[in-house]
Structure 1
Amino acid sequence: MELDILLSLQQRGRLFISPRRVRLLECIREQGSISRGAQAAGISYKSAWDAVKDMNELAGQPLVTSEAGGKGGGGARLTGYGERLLKIYGLLGQIERMAVDALQDESASLDSLLAVVSRFGLQTSARNQFFACVQSVGRRDLRHQVGLRLNGGAQLVADITERSCQRLGLAPGKEVLALVKAPWVTIETERSVPTPNRLPGTVGEVISGEQFNEVLLTLDQGGEICALRPVSEPVPARNERAFACFGPEQVILATLET
């Protein structure tokens, strides 16, 4: 099912911004005048002038400034506020598109904005991303040890600075995204020295390279984790049981400001 997004904003019950008005502003910026912008947008000069007047009035500050015509003709340009309005409208459009994508994907979690953004809008260099909920925050000198519960139920521990903990507003119940880079993950096949972050699973694939091997482990809790290991290290075979291990200091946390 294809859904068209037509985002409009109102102020005091009056239309402020719509796709048609956004197009007009873009054309005014490109053409350098209201008359030429109206022509490019496919509307009359009077409709364009009335729309600009309404937007300036509702915003409480000008989105477009114009100069009276003379020997060289009149001109118009977007103010800094007008430029920012176009940018925020574009961002809102991206958020709405993510919401539509989430609506049509039955496997997507709709429990929070972070869940939707991390699934449809967030790209990072860290191969391993886990949606989690903060369970505990314990202070250790100038650092904090943060207990996390992943969506599948597994437990993780992250070690971050006190300042980072305060900046992220971490507290029990807070939703976060836990990131772990592939080179930081080791793959073990035996229960050796206990580590705080030890996720069990089954080896799904091993991709061999000249300097590194990439191991994909299908986790018991659901999902997978990727480890990038030097070729000098032995790697388990496909379908072999194994554990993905990494230290608390190797977990990066991200969240949305609310």
Structure 2
Amino acid sequence: MDLELLLSLHREGRLFVNPKRIRLLECIRAQGSISQGAKAASISYKSAWDAVREMNELAGQPVVESEAGGKGGGGARLTPYGERLLKVYSLLARIERMAVDALQDEAASLDSLLAVVARFGLQTSARNQFFARVEGMDPSDLSRKVRLRLDGGALLYADITEQSCRRLGLAPGKEVLALIKAPWVAVETAPADDTRNRLAGAIVEVASGEQFNEITLRLDQGHEIHALRPAQEPLPAPGSRAFACFAPDQVILATLG
């Protein structure tokens, strides 16, 4: 199903901007005049002028500034507010697109904006990304041991400085995204008892390289985690049981504020 997005903003029950008006603003910026912008946007000069007048009125400040007279009906330019309006509209359209993508993906969680953004809009160099909630925080010198509960029930630990905890607004119940880079993950069959983060699962894929091997585990809770290990380390057999192990200080947390 291909859904069409038509994002519109209204104020006082009147249309402020929609795709047609945003297109007009882009053309005015490119052409330097309302008349030439109207032509590029394939609308009449009167319609363009009326749209600009209404946007300026509803915004309470100029969106477009124009100079009367001259060749082609005078010059015009977007104000700083108009430039910001284009950028904000673009951001809103991207968020709306992510929401529609989430609607059509039955595997996507719709319980959290962070989960949707993480799945459809966030690109990082960390192969492993897990949506989680803060379950508790224990003081430890200048940092805190943050307990995270993943979807499916697995428990994860992260060492986060006090300053970062405050900046991220971490508290029990807070939604976070936990990031772990693949080279930080060890794959072990019998991890030490004091290993803080050890997630049990089964080897589902092994890719061999000249210098590194990439190992993929499917955790018992259904998540997949990737490990990048030196080629000289022994390779586990696909289907075998193993643990993904990593230190709490190698867990990076992200939030939406």
TM-superposed CA distance for 1:232, in Å, is: 2.0
Q: Does 2:95 correspond to 1:85? A: no
Asked if structure 2 preserves the Cα contact closer than 8 Å seen for 1:28 and 1:78, the reply is: yes
Asked if structure 2 preserves the Cα contact closer than 8 Å seen for 1:180 and 1:252, the reply is: yes
3-state DSSP class of the match of 2:244? strand
Quote the residue 1:123 is aligned against: 123
Q: Aligned AA for 2:211?
A: Q
Q: Separation in 1 of the partners of 2:247 and 2:55?
A: 54
Q: Separation in 1 of the partners of 2:24 and 2:137?
A: 51
Q: Separation in 2 of the partners of 1:142 and 1:71?
A: 67
Q: Scaled by the length of structure 1, what TM-score is found? A: 0.97
Q: Aligned AA for 2:152?
A: G
Residue 224 to residue 27, structure 1, CA distance change in 2 (3 Å): same
Q: Separation in 1 of the partners of 2:72 and 2:97?
A: 43
Asked if structure 2 preserves the Cα contact closer than 8 Å seen for 1:148 and 1:155, the reply is: yes
Quote the residue 1:33 is aligned against: 33
Quote the residue 1:177 is aligned against: 177
Quote the residue 2:251 is aligned against: 251
Q: Separation in 2 of the partners of 1:81 and 1:69?
A: 24
Q: Separation in 2 of the partners of 1:179 and 1:185?
A: 11
Q: Separation in 2 of the partners of 1:197 and 1:159?
A: 11
TM-superposed CA distance for 1:193, in Å, is: 3.4
3-state DSSP class of the match of 2:242? strand
TM-superposed CA distance for 1:72, in Å, is: 8.7
Q: What is the aligned-residue identity percentage?
A: 73
Quote the residue 1:132 is aligned against: 132
Quote the residue 1:56 is aligned against: 56
Which 5+ residue runs of structure 1 have no aligned equivalent?
none
3-state DSSP class of the match of 2:15? strand
Q: Select between 148-157 and 133-142 the one with higher mean Cα deviation.
A: 133-142
Name segments (4+ residues, structure 1) moved above 6 Å.
Answer: none
Quote the residue 1:17 is aligned against: 17
Quote the residue 2:242 is aligned against: 242
Asked if structure 1 preserves the Cα contact closer than 8 Å seen for 2:34 and 2:73, the reply is: no
3-state DSSP class of the match of 1:245? strand
3-state DSSP class of the match of 1:69? coil
Q: Separation in 2 of the partners of 1:126 and 1:72?
A: 53
TM-superposed CA distance for 1:140, in Å, is: 1.5
Asked if structure 2 preserves the Cα contact closer than 8 Å seen for 1:158 and 1:250, the reply is: yes
- Give the 5 Å matches for 1:87-106: 87-106=87-106
Quote the residue 1:205 is aligned against: 205
Residue 173 to residue 217, structure 1, CA distance change in 2 (3 Å): same
Q: Does 2:170 correspond to 1:161? A: no
Asked if structure 1 preserves the Cα contact closer than 8 Å seen for 2:36 and 2:72, the reply is: no
TM-superposed CA distance for 1:71, in Å, is: 6.8
Count of residues in correspondence between the two structures: 257
3-state DSSP class of the match of 2:85? helix
Q: Separation in 2 of the partners of 1:72 and 1:15?
A: 27
Asked if structure 2 preserves the Cα contact closer than 8 Å seen for 1:214 and 1:227, the reply is: yes
Asked if structure 2 preserves the Cα contact closer than 8 Å seen for 1:142 and 1:161, the reply is: yes
Q: Separation in 2 of the partners of 1:116 and 1:123?
A: 13
Asked if structure 2 preserves the Cα contact closer than 8 Å seen for 1:114 and 1:255, the reply is: yes
3-state DSSP class of the match of 2:152? coil
Q: Separation in 2 of the partners of 1:204 and 1:183?
A: 18
Quote the residue 2:228 is aligned against: 228
- RMSD (Å), alpha carbons: 1.2
